[in-house]
Every structure is written in C-alpha cells, then in structure tokens.
Structure 1
Amino acid sequence: MATHPRPQTLAIIGFGNFGQFLAKTFVRQGHRVLGQSRSDYSTAAKELGAEYFKTADEVLDQNPDVVILCTSIMSLKTVMKKFPLQRLEDCLVVDVCSVKEYPRDLMMEMLPPSADILCTHPMFGPESGKHSWKDLPFVYDVVRVCNEERQKVVDDFVLIWELEQCSMVPMTSKEHDSFAASTQFITHTTGRMLAGLNLTSTPIDTKGYESLLGVIDTTIS
C-alpha cells in the first residue's frame, strides 16, 4: 500500500464540473486546494473545503506546489496565453486533457524552462468516478523534471491517484494518442448514437443494458 504523500498546495485552473470533482478528493486527502476560473465558483469551493480566487495572480501568490490546467483541449491555448506563465518557474504544471501530444507540445513551448511538466489523463469523470476511483485508469507522462528535489513533488502528486487505487498507467503522450485514436472514437461515437435513442433505466434492466447506459453517461454527461 502506498504511503500518504505530504500535504500539497494544489491550484486548479478551471474550477468547473471536472475541477470540482478532482478538488473533492484532493481536499479529502488533506491537501490545500485553490480554485480559479472565469465564472464565480466561490460558493462551490467553500462547500468543498477549497479556497477560491478571482485571478490567476491571486492564486499564484499562494505559492502552489502544483498548478493543474483543468480546461478543455479547445480552450487550453487561450487559457495559457492569458495566464501569467512567467510565474510558473520552479512549479509543477499538470494538464488533464483527453489527448496528450498537443498539450505536451504546448506546455513545452510556452512554459518557462524551469517549470516541471506532467501530462495526465484521468480516464473517468464525475459520473464514472462518483463513488470510487478504484481500478479506474490514470494515464500519466512525466515530461520534464528539472532536478532531483522537485521529483518529490511529482511523486507526491502521482501518489494521490495511487492512494485512490486507480489503475496507474505510465505511458508516453505519443503512445496514449495512438491508442486513444481508435478506442475513444468508437466509444464516443457509440455513446452519441445511443443518446439519440433517449434510452432510460427500467426496473428490469439487464447488465448489458446498464452497460449501454453507462457508455452514454461517460461520453455525454
């Protein structure tokens, strides 16, 4: 069993549905969580036991150990352009996008050379991970760590997911996207087709039917 990591200060940039989903577990493990987003999620943050800040500079004034870019792949570059990236020196920066090569290349290009980079894909969300993260895949690629001392920050962050008993999958970003090109396409296509049928749960659902409803939940919700 993994030992407990030291408490970290984790900044979640993009405190929407998925950001709050992550924050709930981070707080439960004893980490200090800082949220920041375009919309005002201060009430939600307070209910979760997190802190909320209106601007990125206010978040960075708290000296977070890790900055998690919790935004869609479509908006990642825009978010990064507006972010005070020069203040991320000596900080671990993490993304949670469902594709990996694009955010990896973007972070390598835009972040300060002294920023550490960890690309991740938690392959679950608020529906599929509602009750537990046990056995759910967490894919990660340690792209850059600038020195041995900072490796500890990376290890402690990865340990968060190990403690939740995720299925840990170390994999390069290139390998991830190669596998995902086929598996995610068929899953999302099937989910959207099923959603168009307006399927609902019944008192006599079979396991197979429940699995189909699960595909809809994980791809449409």
Structure 2
Amino acid sequence: SVVALDAAQPFDYESRRMEQMHKESKLKVGIVGFGNFGQFLAQRIVKQGHAVLAHSRSDYSSLCDEMGVLFFRDVDDFCEEHPDVVLLSTSILSTEAVLRSLPLQRLKRSTLFVDVLSVKEFPKTLFQQVLPAEFDILCTHPMFGPESGRGSWNSLPLVYDKVRVGSGVRDERCQRFLEIFEREGCRMVEMSCAEHDRFAASSQFITHTVGRMLGKLELESTPINTKGYETLLDLVQNTQGDSFDLYYGLFMYNINATEELERLELAFDALKKQLFGKLHNVLRKQLFDVGSAATNH
C-alpha cells in the first residue's frame, strides 16, 4: 500500500498542477453595461469557463442568475471583486460618463480595460486621458452583434488594437482575452484605431446612412421583388433595428463621417446631373429635329 501511495503522488501532483494551470488560464471578466450586447458577449465568455461579473444601471440580477453571471448593483462592490478585465459595453454616447463614474482606485492597478464600440479613436483617446498609466488598454470592435452572431461566430471579424499592454503576464492576460474570440472562430484583425475609423466611415457609416435614407422612403415588398430589391429591404430592416443614438454615435464620434456624408451628397448630385443632362440632350435633339422637319415642309 505504501508503494501504491508513492506511485499515486506524482499523479496527484501532476493533476493539481494541471488544475492550477487551468485556473490561471481562466479570467475574471467584469462587464459594465449589461444590455443586449453585454449579455450577448457574456454568454460566450461564460461558456468558455471564465468568471463573469456584471454591473448596470438596470437590475439584471435574475437574468444574471440564469446565465451564471454575478450581478452587482453597487459599482464599488463590483470593483472590489478585482476583475482581471473590465469590459465597457455601453452606448457610444454614455461611454465617457460611465468611465468617469467608475471608482478606479478600487480596482487592481494592472487592470485591463477593453471597449467594444463601433468607433475606435474616441475610446482610445478617452481611455488614455482617464485611466491611470498602469492600466492596460485594448480597443476592440466585434463586427457583429446579437443578430448576425446568433449562431456561429466563425469567420466573423474581430478588430483589435493593443493600445497599451504591459509585457509578461499582462500581455498573456490580453492574449487570453482575445483567445475567447479566436476559439469561437472569429477572424482576428489587428489594426490601428485610426485605420479602423477610416474604413468604418466608408463601410459602416455609409451602410447605415443608405439604409436609413431608404427607410424614409417607406419601401414595401412587392409581388415582383428582384434579388437586388430584397437586399435593399433587408438593409432597411437591419439598420432600422438599431437605435438612432447608435447611428448618431457613428457620425459624431468618427472624424471621417462628415466627409463621407458630403461625398454621398456629391455622388447623388453628380448622378442627377448625368440623368438630367442626358434627358436635356434628348429633348433638345427632338426639338431641333421637329424644327428642321417643319422647315423642310
């Protein structure tokens, strides 16, 4: 029996060490703002075995109980849980007020702050201004939401910028957070916040603008819909599903958006000129043809 006990010891030690490594690889993620998007992210983070805490203005305690998330109404209690990662999942318009209201002194000094906004330069600058220098900053934009990411996240893009991440264990922690998205099959795109906003102005903002313009036309389905028209109807439905505040945020907090709006107007004017120019030529030709025909008679 002594031999058996000795033989079991390395195994016990090994299994304890594996258990310890497993524990260390798990993060404590605190989500601030537990609306639709916060809940959507929390579901996957919990599924991967990480501990999730939540704080929100509204009371989500019963929903959090169902999800396996710890809910804190009191922001001091939330911060005193010392999450490894604080993920801000607030609207663009409320981000600054929420960030400034957090009792940062109650958090661990090396906390990693992450945002998931659809604009990137704004949160980057805000985090750099407000957060103490010893806090890490990771700016991310999951380019999908509760609708488009309802099933698999496979091949859906996650844009990220390691704005300020310490070395060693701090970099490892940042990697572990990004791995949550990698494991779900996301296409990981590392890109500067400035570059993201340039691309987003001509893709995301233009998409939302065109969708909302078409929405104002109150387009309806017809018995003879083409595939192109179906696509437009889908666009209207998708963009109108988002709040106007989100759209306003894409405009207000992306320095490139005004220029894109002007380009859209110029493109529309150029198209009208082209149409009416052609029409003008046709009418003029008809007038002169009629005139010359009358003269010949």
Report if the CA contact (8 A) 1:137-1:169 is conserved: yes
Report if the CA contact (8 A) 1:121-1:139 is conserved: yes
1:95 matches 2:131 = no
> 2:56 aligned to 37, 41, 45, which one?
37
**Match in the other structure for 1:72:** 91
Bigger Rg, structure 1 or 2? 2
Counterpart amino acid of residue 74 in structure 1: L
Separation in 1 of the partners of 2:234 and 2:42? 23
> 1:114 aligned to 134, 157, 162, which one?
134
Counterpart amino acid of residue 33 in structure 1: V
Separation in 1 of the partners of 2:200 and 2:157? 13
Report the CA distance shift for 1:132/1:208 in structure 2 as closer, same or farther (over 3 A).
farther
Counterpart amino acid of residue 185 in structure 1: F
How many residues end up aligned between the 2 structures? 218
C-alpha displacement of 1:217: 4.8
Report if the CA contact (8 A) 1:86-1:111 is conserved: no
Counterpart amino acid of residue 175 in structure 1: E
Partner SS for 2:92: coil
**Match in the other structure for 1:136:** 156
Report if the CA contact (8 A) 2:25-2:176 is conserved: yes
Separation in 2 of the partners of 1:217 and 1:139? 25
Structure 2: stretches of 5+ with no match in the other structure: 1-21, 242-297
Separation in 1 of the partners of 2:84 and 2:223? 48
Report the CA distance shift for 1:127/1:55 in structure 2 as closer, same or farther (over 3 A).
same
Instruction: Provide, for residues 153-212 of structure 1, a one-character-per-residue CA deviation record: whole Å limited to 9, x for no partner.
Output: 100000000011111110000111111111122110122234445567899987655544
**Match in the other structure for 1:183:** 203
Partner SS for 1:120: strand
Separation in 2 of the partners of 1:47 and 1:203? 44
Counterpart amino acid of residue 107 in structure 1: F
Report if the CA contact (8 A) 2:80-2:106 is conserved: no
Report the CA distance shift for 1:175/1:40 in structure 2 as closer, same or farther (over 3 A).
same
CA RMSD of aligned residues (A): 2.3
Separation in 1 of the partners of 2:223 and 2:45? 36
**Match in the other structure for 1:26:** 45
Partner SS for 1:74: helix
Counterpart amino acid of residue 208 in structure 2: H
C-alpha displacement of 1:19: 0.4
Instruction: Kindly indicate which of the two structures has a greater share of residues assigned to helix.
Output: 2
Structure 1 length-normalised TM:
0.89
Separation in 1 of the partners of 2:154 and 2:237? 18
Structure 2 length-normalised TM:
0.68
Report if the CA contact (8 A) 1:141-1:172 is conserved: yes
1:170 matches 2:180 = no
C-alpha displacement of 1:107: 0.4
Report if the CA contact (8 A) 1:128-1:218 is conserved: no
Report if the CA contact (8 A) 2:51-2:69 is conserved: yes
> 2:36 aligned to 17, 27, 31, which one?
17
Counterpart amino acid of residue 94 in structure 2: S
Counterpart amino acid of residue 173 in structure 1: C
Report if the CA contact (8 A) 1:125-1:218 is conserved: no
Instruction: Kindly indicate which of the two structures has a greater share of residues assigned to strand.
Output: 1
C-alpha displacement of 1:132: 1.6
Separation in 2 of the partners of 1:205 and 1:214? 12
Report if the CA contact (8 A) 2:79-2:104 is conserved: no
Separation in 1 of the partners of 2:225 and 2:96? 43
C-alpha displacement of 1:219: 2.7
Report the CA distance shift for 1:96/1:201 in structure 2 as closer, same or farther (over 3 A).
farther
> 1:61 aligned to 80, 83, 86, which one?
80
- Larger RCO: Structure 1 or Structure 2 (Cα < 8 Å, ≥ 6 residues apart)? 1
Once structures 1 and 2 are overlaid, which stretch shifts more, 45-54 or 154-163?
Answer: 45-54
**Match in the other structure for 1:48:** 67
